[in-house]
Amino acid sequence: RPLIELRGITRRYANGTTALAGVDLVIGPGERVAVVGRSGSGKSTLLNVLGLLDAPDEGEVLIDGHPVEAAQDRVRAEWRSSELGFVFQRSHLIPALSVRENVLLGLRYSNASLDDADQVVTGSLRAVGLEHKEQALARTLSGGEMQRVAIARTLARPARLWLADEPTGNLDSAQSLEIIEELKRRAAERGAALVVVTHEPDVAARLDRVVTLRDGLVVADSAHATTPAHG
Ligand code: ADP
Ligand code: ADP
């Protein structure tokens, strides 16, 4: 059974922009997917819909086969906190807190057990190569370091679906590939699915499946490869 399924999703903004124009997408447990496409093609909107942060105007989102719209608020909140983990482009660390505290906060807002929180946080910081910075205040970090802390915060959460919007946007390409490999490794360990919006072909190539958006539509999906049309 799919972990999450989008059926005929349309999203129009108040100004009339159609960001998604009828998207069908099925993501299975543990799948690792890149979402690519030009700026404005609908990638961030798609990620927000997958993350239950944005409600579609038309269509249906199903989690484990259950329509999200029909679920009670409590159940939706539960899905968001227990099943989903985000890495945003702007990582929203709390500047006055230490690296360690920022990662720990991510755990508090999930329903993870806090018994082994210290170990989980340490493991996550090690995974992104920042264990030596755990006492540094977030505001003293470079952009790339902040991004890695945001990734560590997500890694610490016991989610079944990790959603990342340009998670490696501030990193050089060697670092980007390292981080993607780490996300993949961690996702595999937990059986979590991973959806990564990226404009870096090298990053997309490291994921198992590539979904291409254009003008709010899925125009290619390597999971359903077809012979490219001519012209
Ligand atoms: P940035 O390109 O600076 O990252 P964001 O995507 O964070 O901008 O958007 C900033 C705010 O503007 C958000 O509230 C977002 O929903 C909104 N926004 C983004 N694109 C548009 C647009 N084309 N028209 C109107 N609002 C937009
Ligand atoms: P991408 O992530 O591929 O750049 P987005 O999902 O951010 O694409 O945007 C898809 C389209 O919707 C773009 O035309 C963008 O300008 C528009 N858009 C995004 N957010 C808003 C918003 N809050 N209000 C109005 N238009 C928006």
CA pair distance 195, 30, nearest whole angstrom: 10
Are 137 and 98 within 8 A, CB to CB?
yes
CA of 97 to the centre of ligand 1 (A): 27
**Closest-lying ligand to the alpha carbon of 88?**
1
pLDDT above 70 covers what percent of the chain?
94
Ligand 1 mean position, distance from CA 15 (Å): 12
- Output the ligand 2 site: residues, CB below 6 A: 13, 15, 17, 19, 37, 39-45
77 vs 138: which has the higher pLDDT:
138
What are the structure tokens assigned to 208, written together? Answer: 């198992």
Distance 80 CA to ligand 1 centre (A): 22
Query: What average pLDDT does this structure show over 113-130?
Result: 87
Pairing of strands 209-214, 32-36: parallel
What pLDDT band is residue 110 in, cutting at 50, 70 and 90?
low
> pLDDT, tens digit, for every residue of 43-74?
999 999 999 989 999 999 999 999 998 888 88
Which of 29-43, 79-93, 136-150 bottoms out in mean pLDDT, i.e. has the lowest?
79-93
pLDDT surpassing 60 at residue 231: no
Neighbour count for residue 160 (Cβ, 10 Å) = 20
The residues, ordered by sequence, that sit 6+ positions from 176 with a Cβ below 8 Å of its Cβ are 168, 200, 202, 203
Considering only CA atoms, which residue is closest to atom 18 of ligand 2? 19
pLDDT value at 182 more than 80: yes
The reported pTM is 0.83
Q: Which numbered ligand comes closest to the C-alpha of 15?
A: 2
pLDDT above 90 (res 171): no
Q: Which ligand is nearest to the CA of 16?
A: 2
Q: Summarize pLDDT for 194-228 with one digit per residue, the tens.
A: 999 999 999 999 999 999 999 999 999 998 876 55
The yes/no answer to whether this complex scores an ipTM above 0.90 is no
